[in-house]
Amino acid sequence: MATFSLFFKSLKSRFFYLSAMSIFGILWGMQCFFSSEQQNISSPFNYILGAFILGIFATIILNFYLGYKNKKDYKILLKKILIGSTGWITGFLLASFLTYPLLILGKIFLFFTRLINISDTTFSQVTSIANLEIGSLWPQFFIVILVATYFYSKIFEKKYKTNNLKKILLILSMPFISPIIGNLLPFSWLKITVCFGLIGLLIGLYFEYIFEKQKDEIIYP
């Protein structure tokens, strides 16, 4: 009975964590939705509010999900929020600054889609939502996630052994799988909601795969 209780408690904790990450993604997406209509082509990383949402709330939820309760000193938690926020803001600003060079680099992917007879127009339509370029900016996702991971590695314990291919596929699924699924739905706001909800979910899965859950409460100085 104790084993089943622990299993369901873990399942409930994981559901809450991934649901929260999805909500954070949706909040980021809503800012993109209401702001991108004023621009012709836009990157989701141009909207810095997403960096603050992920930097503050995603850091808090990840901290507790991994088992770093920090009950004895909330200054430690605030320090982690500062470090996590710095990572996300740095990643967003770097990706935003390099939007057009990375957009050109991202077009390399068109070489592979042409090999399977997918036109450039079709690829753009299914991987973009409203005025937001998402699929073609896959290099931005790599930059932002890797920068955030670097900063998080200063405050969370990384797993000893992970599969690099799985990490790459998780990051690539964010700009490709999410908008494709989102574009199956009607209405721009619904597409954005589903797309960014999935991006938030996949970010949560990525960090869950990268960082080790703690069996006991650990306090970092």
Per-position DSSP letters for 22-34, written without gaps between them: HHHHHHHHHHHHH
* pLDDT of amino acid 52: 94
* pLDDT of amino acid 4: 43
**How confident is the prediction along the chain (221 residues), in pLDDT tens digits per residue?**
445 444 445 555 888 999 999 999 999 998 888 776 555 557 889 888 899 999 999 999 999 888 876 555 678 889 999 999 999 999 999 999 988 888 888 888 777 777 788 777 777 788 888 778 888 888 999 999 999 999 999 999 887 777 888 889 999 999 999 999 999 998 888 999 999 999 999 999 999 999 988 764 444 33
* pLDDT of amino acid 43: 84
Q: Burial letters for 68-92: b for 16+ Cβ neighbours within 10 Å, e otherwise?
A: bebeeeeebbeebbebbbbbbbbbb
4: in domain: no
Distance CA 189, CA 148 (A): 27
101: Cβ contacts below 8 Å, ≥ 6 apart: none
220: in domain: no
3: in domain: no
183: in domain: yes
72: in domain: yes
216: in domain: no
5: in domain: no
The residue range of the domain holding 36 is 13-210
* pLDDT of amino acid 31: 86
35: in domain: yes
Distance CA 145, CA 143 (A): 6
Domain count, the chain: 1
